Amino acid sequence: MAGLSPVTVELLGAIARVSLNAPPVNAAGQALRQALWDAAAAIEADTKIKAVILVGKGRGFCAGADISEFGRPAQAPLLAELLGKIAAAHTPWLAALHGMALGGGLELALACHARIATPDCQLGLPEVSLGLIPGAGGTFRLPRVVGVAQAVEMICYGKPITGKQAAEIGLVDALADDLPTNALALAQDIATRGLTAVTGATGLRVAPEPPDWGALTATLRRKTRGQSAPLVALETIQTSLGLPEHKALAQERAAFIALRDGAESAALRHLFRAERAAMRPKQLGTAQPRATSNTGVIGGGTMGSGIATALLMAGYPVTLIERDESAATKGAALVRHNLDAAQSRGLIADTAALLNTFQTSTDYAALAPCDLVIEAVFEDFDIKRAVFTALEAHCAPEAILASNTSYLDLNALAATLAQPARLLGLHFFAPAHIMKLLEVVETNATAPETLATGFALARALGKVAVRAGVCDGFIGNRIMSAYRRECEYILADGASPADIDAAMRGFGFPMGVFEMQDLSGLEISYAMRKRQAATRNSAQRYIPIADWLVEAGRLGRKTKGGWYAYPDGKTPEPAPDTAALIARYRREAGIVPRRFEETAIMGRILAAMQGEGRAILAEGIANSADDIDVVMVNGYGFPRWRGGPMWMLANPTP
Ligand code: 3H9
């Protein structure tokens, strides 16, 4: 039976070891399904085989259905049919899991009769993040193995769990330190003593208490902000509990197909592809990244300490430079605070161990061993230029130098460097150790190797990175400025901040543009507007209300008032002072306020995003419309399930 590919079968006495071998992630495409089908049929016919081990070669067990097949007609054997065949086999199958068992991969493991996993293996049904529900028995089998509450958590929210957690909830029967050895021993035990005697398995079991479906639905609706797949998943699980297997599987498949062929899944699959493509911009060519083992950060404020935290969490030693001891101590305290929070969320094992690889200094000479230094000082060109002069004097000539500027002209900064080819922008988003997005900014002089190092760093930090060219605001902030301006026009013409924020929330943003400004503080964009005042197009409409708010001391939540009032420091309420300023502006500008429906508000906001997106593309600031979507979704709260503004432009819903 050897030689079947992408599935191979070896006989180890009475045990058959079936290996999935479809790099890079053993996705269950047609060829793999057919080969596994054939292997299962041959094994079932062989009475000498007493147990089967199913393993994945390479990085993991199986990442699920092959996503690239979803746009084409399904080809036999369907995954659900294959899994039905394995579940019904007389010979017990043991799934041996490492790396990842996701989506159809976990459904395959659930169709097996027992499961063993490495403690760090990722097990999950992440279909909702592709706008889908499990379509190969997951909504039927998982609740009957781990109970309804756990199954709802895994299926409706789509977040994977570790092998260790899976053992705690009974999803796997055993954990393995040494998977090949432990799986073989377990399979031999099953072959000798029988499945039930070894695993204590009583087959599928249903949770005794059905949950409060109403409460689950309400929470899900709130957390998923307009996405439909999670709610369909919940309904499918609920309906499935009252159905026999064949009917439950049929209703699951029907719901799966409807979602697969719908707009939401197309949008989410677009982002899955776009996020991966963004990490390979054409400008890299064949350039290889430089090795990075020691890093430096200049500036210990919110951004600098967040960047230092992100670097430490990814395993890089960090030297943080501040201008004096007191600022260095404050920066170190912020880093410790961030790491403590990460530890309490289980993201890192030990703050103290990471702090052993962290030091602060007020002397740039401490950066001598660093191969990558990221500057995150105050947004002032002269201050940044002085920092880079010092970096050139103290860093090794091959060290990569990066600026975290959000707005300043990196081409002008590059022109002040002796070696501009090693400068790039690394625009992190606050909090830098949490936000997924990184804009990797290429100046006119950035070498491909420097750019490649930026992308390699992004990968190591677990970020989604997008290449951007130099302009005021790069991709994301430039689009944000454009739609914020549009929101101010809508406000000036008659809508209230609450009307506009409600429209954005209704569309799926976590918060509206005015609430967001109050949260981050109005003074930053005020300073930017003042900087741009001399060069602003005087023909363009300008709304001064935000300036008046700052000049009246209304900086946002921190002053208990900005666009809104915050009597308790956090809950926005309509602010009479703001309303008076808006009324004053309308009066002075001779505007008779009109009413705006939510759809009209969102239509104008989207058009502003898309218009600016087109300009950015035309100027080569972004490589593709897909890159713009990746930025808006990962850095600016654009609802993921809608695919991004440029996707919506190209794929209008009827
Ligand atoms: C499903 O299973 C439905 C079933 O319930 C029912 C069916 C009837 N298919 O992310 P990476 C590619 S829905 C095809 O860069 P990492 C990926 O495009 C599926 N290709 O690496 C990339 O290729 P390229 C449910 C896939 O280590 C390469 O593999 N499953 C698939 O950062 C490496 O990927 C999921 O939602 C796939 N399923 O992360 C899992 N998966 O280099 C989706 C990956 O050419 N996948 N590729 O761009 C993931 O979450 C991550 O890719 C994974 C690896 C964690 C596996």
Tell me the average pLDDT across 357-380. 96
Give yes or no for residue 572 CB within 6 A of ligand 1. no
Checking if the pLDDT of 4 tops 60, the result is no
Give yes or no for residue 100 CB within 6 A of ligand 1. yes
Give yes or no for residue 532 CB within 6 A of ligand 1. no
Ligand 1 centroid to Cα of residue 59, in Å, is: 12
Checking if the pLDDT of 538 tops 90, the result is no
Alpha-carbon span 307 to 315, nearest angstrom: 13
Radius of gyration of the chain (CA): 28
Tell me the average pLDDT across 3-7. 74
Q: What are the C-alpha distances in Å from 29 to residues 19, 20, 64, 74, 618?
A: 15, 11, 9, 10, 38
Give catalytic residue positions.
Answer: 107, 127
Q: Looking at this protein, which amino acid is placed at residue 404?
A: N
Under DSSP, the state recorded for 29 is -
- Give the bridge partners for 93, in sequence order: 52
Ligand 1 centroid to Cα of residue 60, in Å, is: 11
* 375: exposed, middle or buried (Cβ count in 10 Å: 0-12, 13-18, 19+): buried
Checking if the pLDDT of 617 tops 60, the result is yes
Rounded to the nearest angstrom, the gap between the alpha carbon of residue 654 and the centroid of all alpha carbons in its chain is 28
Which atom of ligand 1 approaches the CA of 105 most closely? 2
> Can you tell me whether residue 174 is helix, strand or coil?
strand
Q: Is the peptide bond before 289 cis (omega within 30 degrees of 0)?
A: no
Alpha-carbon span 607 to 522, nearest angstrom: 24
295 token code pair:
């890093």
Give yes or no for residue 121 CB within 6 A of ligand 1. no
Nearest CA to ligand 1 atom 16: 25
Residues 227, 230, 234, 236, Cα dihedral to 10°: 100
Q: Looking at this protein, which amino acid is placed at residue 214?
A: G
Give yes or no for residue 63 CB within 6 A of ligand 1. yes
528 token code pair:
């930017």
180 token code pair:
């090949």
Checking if the pLDDT of 274 tops 60, the result is yes
Give yes or no for residue 252 CB within 6 A of ligand 1. no
Which atom of ligand 1 approaches the CA of 60 most closely? 56
Nearest CA to ligand 1 atom 40: 63
Question: Of the residues 20, 36, 67, which should be mutated to test ligand 1's pocket, given the most ligand atoms within 8 Å of the CB?
Answer: 67
Average pLDDT score over the chain: 95
Nearest CA to ligand 1 atom 8: 135
* Torsion angles phi and psi, residue 567, rounded to 5: -55, -35
Nearest CA to ligand 1 atom 53: 63
Determine the pLDDT at residue 424: 98
Determine the pLDDT at residue 199: 82
* 1: exposed, middle or buried (Cβ count in 10 Å: 0-12, 13-18, 19+): middle
Ligand 1 centroid to Cα of residue 25, in Å, is: 7
Determine the pLDDT at residue 647: 98
Checking if the pLDDT of 633 tops 60, the result is yes
Nearest CA to ligand 1 atom 6: 135
Tell me the average pLDDT across 41-49. 96
Cβ neighbours of residue 94 under 8 Å, at least 6 residues apart?
A: 51, 52, 53, 54, 112, 113, 114, 115, 116, 183, 186, 187, 190
Closest CA to 626 of 641, 612, 643, 639: 643
594 token code pair:
């009109």
3-state secondary structure 422-439: HEEEEEECCCCCCCCEEE
Tell me the average pLDDT across 443-472. 97
- Give the bridge partners for 55, in sequence order: 19, 96
Ligand 1 centroid to Cα of residue 63, in Å, is: 5
Alpha-carbon span 326 to 362, nearest angstrom: 10
Determine the pLDDT at residue 1: 43
Query: What digits encode the pLDDT tens for the residues 180-228?
Result: 999 999 999 999 999 988 887 655 666 657 789 999 999 999 999 899 9
Rounded to the nearest angstrom, the gap between the alpha carbon of residue 456 and the centroid of all alpha carbons in its chain is 17
N-to-C CA span, the chain: 52
Q: Would you say 110 and 62 are in contact if contact means Cβ atoms under 8 Å apart?
A: no
Which atom of ligand 1 approaches the CA of 253 most closely? 8
Give yes or no for residue 107 CB within 6 A of ligand 1. yes
Which atom of ligand 1 approaches the CA of 276 most closely? 48
Nearest CA to ligand 1 atom 51: 63
Q: Would you say 424 and 281 are in contact if contact means Cβ atoms under 8 Å apart?
A: no
Alpha-carbon span 634 to 270, nearest angstrom: 14
Give yes or no for residue 465 CB within 6 A of ligand 1. no
Determine the pLDDT at residue 198: 86
Which atom of ligand 1 approaches the CA of 65 most closely? 2
Alpha-carbon span 448 to 287, nearest angstrom: 6
Give yes or no for residue 160 CB within 6 A of ligand 1. no
Give yes or no for residue 456 CB within 6 A of ligand 1. no
> Can you tell me whether residue 363 is helix, strand or coil?
coil
Query: What digits encode the pLDDT tens for the residues 110-128?
Result: 999 999 999 999 999 999 9
Give the total residue count for the chain: 654
Determine the pLDDT at residue 72: 86
Determine the pLDDT at residue 465: 98
Tell me the average pLDDT across 55-61. 97
Give yes or no for residue 216 CB within 6 A of ligand 1. no
Residues 618, 622, 624, 626, Cα dihedral to 10°: -130
Determine the pLDDT at residue 520: 87
Query: What digits encode the pLDDT tens for the residues 236-264?
Result: 999 999 899 999 999 999 999 999 999 99
Ligand 1 centroid to Cα of residue 277, in Å, is: 13
Query: What digits encode the pLDDT tens for the residues 119-176?
Result: 999 999 999 999 999 999 999 999 999 999 999 999 999 999 999 999 999 999 999 9
- CB-based contacts of 245-248 (< 8 A; 24+ apart in sequence): 245/140, 248/139, 248/140
